Every structure is written in C-alpha cells, then in structure tokens.
Amino acid sequence: MKIKVMFVAGARPNFVKIAPLLREFAKHRDVLKTSLVHTGQHYDFEMSGVFFQGLQIPDPDIHLNVGSHSHAVQTAKIMVSFEKVVTADKPDLVIVVGDVNSTLACALVVTKLGVKLAHVEAGLRSFDRTMPEEINRVVTDSLSDYLFVSEESGLKNLRREGVSSNRVHFVGNVMIDSLIWAGKHVGKSKVLDNLNLTQKEYGVVTLHRPSNVDSDTSLSEICDILQLVSEKIKLVYPLHPRTKIMLKKHGLLGKLTVLTNLGLIDPLGYLDFVKLMKESTLVLTDSGGIQEETTALGVPCLTIRENTERPATVTQGTNTLVGKDKQKIARCVTKVLRGKFKRGTVPALWDGKASQRIAGIIMDHLADRPGSRRAMG
C-alpha cells in the first residue's frame, strides 16, 4: 500500500507554498498517495480560486468550507470538520504550511489523533505575541514531528526553544520555489498594460494586518503614509477585502480614492501580482511572504511593521522595517528613487529546490520505516 500524505491549505499565502510541494510529491506516485484539504479560510474566487488557477493547483480533494469567523470560532470549526476527515482517511502524514488559523487548527487535530505532522516554514519568530500568527507558529512547531526551516534564524529559534535537532531540517523557502516557477510564466501577464503602468515607474502597496488596518487611528495613519508616498511616486494598491471593509467601516475609503497618484484595484491572481511586483520600483507591505519575494526579486521593500519573523529579508535582503514612521518612510523612498537603497542578496537555499528537499526527507523517513504502509506491503 502507498504512503498517504495529506496537505492542508486554507488561506492565500498557503496556496503559494503548497503548489510546489504538490508538484514535487506528484513525482512519487509509485510510493505516495497525496490528497489536498482546503479549509475554506479564504473562500471567494479573488482570494482562493484565482490562485488555484494561476498556480495550477489541482482541485481540492476535500473542502471544509469554514468561511470567515473570529479566531476562536474559525479555529474550532476547522478542528471539528478536519477531525472527521483525518479519522476517515487515516493519513500517514499531514503537512501544514505557514502560520494561519488553518495551520494551528489542523496541527492540533493531527497530534491528538496520533498522526505524524510536518510544518513547512517552521521556526520563524517575530517575538510579538500580539500577532495571532506568532501564537500559531509557536504552537504548531511544538507539535510537529518534522520542522522544515526556510532561513537560518529558524534554526536558532528552534534550538533555543529546545526542539530536538533530529526533527529540524533546513530546506530553504517554498515561496521562492513558486516565485521561480512563476518566472517562466509571467511573460503572459498583461497586468502592466491593463493598468497603464510603465516598468520601474510605480510602487506596489499591500496592507492587511490587524495592527495596521483594524483601528481608525492606525488606518488613518496608513492613509497619511500613502498620501505622502504617492506624492513622490505612483502607487498601485490591490485592496484586500478585509482592508476594504475596514476603510468603509471607519469612513476612510474616500481619503484614498481622492489621491490621484494612487490606484485602488481588486486583488490580483498570483502571476499578475508577481509581474506587478517584479517590475515595480518599490513595495510597501506588511506581508511576510512579500518581504521574502521582494528580497528574491531584488526589489526594495518597506515593511510597515515594527518587527518581522523573517529577519533574513532585513539582514541580507532588500527589506527595511519602517513602522509607521513617516519621516523614515520618506527618507527611504527618496533613497530608492535616487538609486541609493540597499541592493541585498538572496539567502541560502532560496534556490527553487526547497520542495524537492522536503520530498526527499519525507521519502527517506517514511518509505521504509517499520510499520509503514510500504513496509507492510
């Protein structure tokens, strides 16, 4: 019998990470039987379906359809539904990625049912417990049998937390696997033509974290920052549905729509967004994944946060933490426009082969272990 490996994805960043893993594991169909569970944490076409299309991810085998709820309700709904799936399917290994609620919920279920658990993107730490993602990361890592690390800080963090070294594997970054794969396809994207943009004459904005968009105070500060930066360079802002809701709730959407040098657009598919980012002058973001992608692409990135769980993007890459300090942001934008911003380097093992390394480790550890399906067969 084949070894049954179940992948879990729930939100937009997960899809980018899961795509290269599915492609790589599909090469071992003689030994592995894979399945994909979509929790439905991100559920509409703009946040989910378009990514499945662009990344050529096969349709999920199981869709939990949990939808949007508070952290507690969403996590609980995923756990209740996913427990039924694992109990019925009896996988040998469940692979979770990233740090969203789906990651934590499924990790808890798998561990309590005695199934092996792998966490891709383990060891990242912001050391900020006010971030829900930090709680998800810490708990998932504490439960995992296989911890696949994307950058060297992850090794140090897990060592400091007392995680056994035989559970930890430094494999590189699956986000970059997808980015390199996308590089072969982005030439088809017409996003710049569609938005009437010229290469290297615009900046990209992505902001959605609660610390930036949930309160009227912080969101008003964000609006002021975007006004400041748009006076120096044209900006394009694919607006996250959640951010749009908050802008309307706090009566601030009009503050952005009046800015003539800021274009608010709907969320983009993966290939279009990679193209938009690759050809931009700079990126303003609070996204962890985009910090990594801009570093790999060599695009200056200003992260509107006080901390990052991806320090390699700052110490080695093109990322700078600017918080909501308007003076610092203005200085950084000026440096970028003058060509004096740091150029950065690509961290170790961000080479497009992380998924290959992960599949190899899983094969080595599971294929011939005592009691495995293959051994029993």
Q: Which residues are part of the catalytic machinery?
A: 208
What number of residues does the chain have? 377
3-state helix, strand, coil in the chain (%, to 5): 50, 15, 35
Strands of 39-103, DSSP E: 62-63, 93-97
- The set of residues, in sequence order, having a beta carbon less than 8 Å from that of 232 and lying 6+ positions away, is 330, 333, 334, 337
Q: For residues 280 and 302, is the Cβ–Cβ distance under 8 A?
A: no
**Rounded distance, CA 116 to CA 93, Å?**
5
Q: What b/e readout covers 290-301, taking b as 16+ CB neighbours within 10 angstroms?
A: bbbbbbbbebbb
CA distance 20 to 14: 11
**Strands of the sheet with 203-206, listed across from one edge:** 262-265, 235-238, 203-206, 282-285, 301-303, 319-321
In three-state secondary structure terms, 263 is strand
Task: Give me the sign of the Cα torsion angle 44, 49, 52, 55.
Answer: negative
CA distance 183 to 127: 33
Q: Return the residue matching tokens 């709907």.
A: 266
Q: CB-side exposure of 23: number of CA atoms within 13 Å?
A: 19
